[in-house]
Amino acid sequence: MGLEVSGPRAQDAFDKKSPKRFPVFKRKGRHDSMRYPDPEQIRIDLCRYDGDGRLVLPTIFLPRIGWVKFRKSCIIGGEIRNVTVSRAGGHWYAALQVEKEIADPVHPATTTVGGDRGVAHLLTLSDGTMFLPVASYREHQKTLAREQRRLAHKVKFSVNWKKQKAKITRLHQKIAEARKTVLHQISTTISQNHAVVVLEDLKVRNTTASARGTVEQPGRNVRQKAGLNKAILDQGWGLLRRFLEYKLSWRGGMLLLVPPEYTSQGCAVCGAVDARNRVTQATFHCQHCGHRDHADVNAAKNILARGWQSTAGHAGVACSAA
């Protein structure tokens, strides 16, 4: 006897016209984590001494596991609400969510700056500051390809296959950590020196879409577009935006997002938009007023101007342009 189910299905909500993406099943071994939601069962001992009176690593008590040593990466302040234990790259991490009251911060700086994200330079500011691109993946690309070839020659799910798989996972984790370190340094520097930062509201997912096309309508310059996509993803544009957003918020600053259309083709002096203005990758020469500047700096100035236009008439925004 079969079971007949009537009514709309959950997957019917994810049609082609819906902005929601179809859910992806969680694979075993990826993003493994567990959460302890009861704060009364969690205890932390930061000052622990051994039998000889020497200070040892702090420990945390987790239900059904017991006391576990951990390395403290930041100051733990406030009331602990929950703990999430996750595994990444062969290492275990404990993320503590705490609750505490803080006063509304006031940013010490009074300047605002526009930023243009790119490939030749990770970020170019309107005051002329340029940050070198992140090349963590490029530096390890050959090593990663060699290790993946070794994995392909092993019997799947064998002991040596699992060892090689773990080695590749650690290499991916090393690449990601190197990228995050550079982005943390850049975002911290910018959030400390500027109260307001204006960036383009880029859709990175759409920007890095494949140009392969279909069988009926094949794409053009597929290899060149694939190389550009790889370079963009290696920069971590979306991660830099998130870092700037919460670090500016912590210090009392603000991140503004503006439309990205024609910021690289428009002149920051006269406002004329012309595709011929972008002479080369690094040179901008306005065909109408003759203004010359670095192409990325000119784009950053246009982004800053759009940020001022978006905040025109809003109270509480009183910063001087950098």
* pLDDT on residue 123: 97
72 with 158, same domain: the answer is no
Q: Which residues contact 240 (CB under 8 A, 6 or more apart)?
A: 117, 122, 123, 183, 186, 187
> The tokens of 62 are what?
């987790």
170 with 66, same domain: the answer is no
245 with 308, same domain: the answer is yes
- What integer is the mean pLDDT of 287-296? 93
**CA–CA gap between residue 213 and residue 302 (Å, rounded):** 33
Q: Name the domain boundary from 99, 130, 156.
A: 99
- Residue 11: pLDDT band (50, 70, 90) is low
User: Residue 111: pLDDT above 90?
Assistant: yes
Q: Name the domain boundary from 79, 99, 119.
A: 99
287 with 197, same domain: the answer is yes
* pLDDT on residue 218: 85
280 with 159, same domain: the answer is yes
Question: Among the options 234, 245, 293, 296, which is catalytic?
Answer: 296
234 with 298, same domain: the answer is yes
- What integer is the mean pLDDT of 316-322? 49
Segment among 63-72, 280-289, 311-320 with least mean pLDDT: 311-320
**CA–CA gap between residue 4 and residue 107 (Å, rounded):** 62
Q: Which DSSP state fits 273? A: B
| Apex 217 CA angle, 215 and 219, nearest 5 | 100
Question: Among the options 104, 200, 261, 293, which is catalytic?
Answer: 200
Q: Is residue 13 part of a domain?
A: no
- What integer is the mean pLDDT of 138-159? 96
Largest separation between any pair of C-alpha atoms in the chain: 81
122 with 55, same domain: the answer is no
User: Residue 1: pLDDT above 60?
Assistant: no
* pLDDT on residue 196: 96
Question: Among the options 104, 116, 177, 201, which is catalytic?
Answer: 116
Rounded to two decimals, the pTM is 0.83
User: Residue 317: pLDDT above 50?
Assistant: no
* pLDDT on residue 202: 92
239 with 124, same domain: the answer is yes
| Apex 311 CA angle, 305 and 312, nearest 5 | 85
* pLDDT on residue 12: 61
Q: Name the domain boundary from 65, 99, 133.
A: 99
293 with 154, same domain: the answer is yes
* pLDDT on residue 128: 95
Q: Is residue 7 part of a domain?
A: no
Is residue 167 within 8 A of residue 147, CB to CB? The reply is yes
Q: Which DSSP state fits 49? A: B
Q: pLDDT tens digit string along 176-190?
A: 999 999 999 999 999
Domain count, the chain: 2
Question: In sequence order, which ranges of the chain are alpha helices (DSSP H)?
Answer: 136-152, 159-193, 204-207, 222-235, 237-250, 295-310
User: Residue 254: pLDDT above 90?
Assistant: yes
Tell me if residue 79 is catalytic. Answer: no
142 with 65, same domain: the answer is no
Q: Which residues contact 183 (CB under 8 A, 6 or more apart)?
A: 134, 236, 239, 240, 243
**CA–CA gap between residue 136 and residue 202 (Å, rounded):** 22
Q: Which amino acid is at 322?
A: A
> The tokens of 54 are what?
């020497």
Is residue 191 within 8 A of residue 199, CB to CB? The reply is no
User: Residue 240: pLDDT above 80?
Assistant: yes
* pLDDT on residue 315: 44
Tell me if residue 15 is catalytic. Answer: no
Q: Is residue 16 part of a domain?
A: no
Q: Which amino acid is at 108?
A: P
* pLDDT on residue 319: 47
> The tokens of 163 are what?
């060892």
Tell me if residue 127 is catalytic. Answer: no
Q: Can you give the residue range of the structural domain that contains 211?
A: 111-321
Q: At what angle do helices 222-235 and 237-250 cross, to 10 degrees?
A: 20
Q: pLDDT tens digit string along 62-89?
A: 999 999 999 988 888 889 999 999 988 8
User: Residue 320: pLDDT above 60?
Assistant: no
Please, what is the average pLDDT of the chain?
Answer: 87
